[in-house]
Amino acid sequence: MTPTPDQPIGDLELTLTGNRQARLSDFRGRHLVLYFYPKASTPGCTQEGLDFRDAFADFTALDTAILGASRDGLKAQENFKAKQGFPFDLVADTDEALCRLFDVIKVKKMYGRESLGVERSTFLIDAQGVLRREWRGVKVPGHVQEVLEAVRALAAGT
């Protein structure tokens, strides 16, 4: 069931960079920013990741973890993380379970053709595993700063 704001998120197993297994519930006890991007190593996805990388210390200071997720395989995610120096893990959601949980697979049109792809989206989950904010159809410029402000408000209890 797709989480909605102010409702607990479901739990499922994730494959993280480093070929490690984790669960969404492993992040309880701290806030989690989970952002979905269409494809590793493409321009918009790279810029979004770099923006999260550059703000990583600010998120960490607010006891907030960051996870990036796409349908790319583990090798592509590993290469993307290493090349861009991301200090956070990426999720290789090759079975699309995480994408389906958050309902981010959408019909996209490119050059007159329709295909299914990941809609750039971000979710802010609190330390108790409750979805607090969601951004869908994200435009990269300024997005990370907006998410950071939402984390600051959540951390301040406002």
Task: Give the catalytic positions in this structure.
Answer: 45
CA atoms of 43 and 41, how far apart (whole Å) = 7
Helix (H) or strand (E) holding 20: strand 20-23
For residues 72 and 80, the answer to whether their CB atoms sit within 8 Å is yes
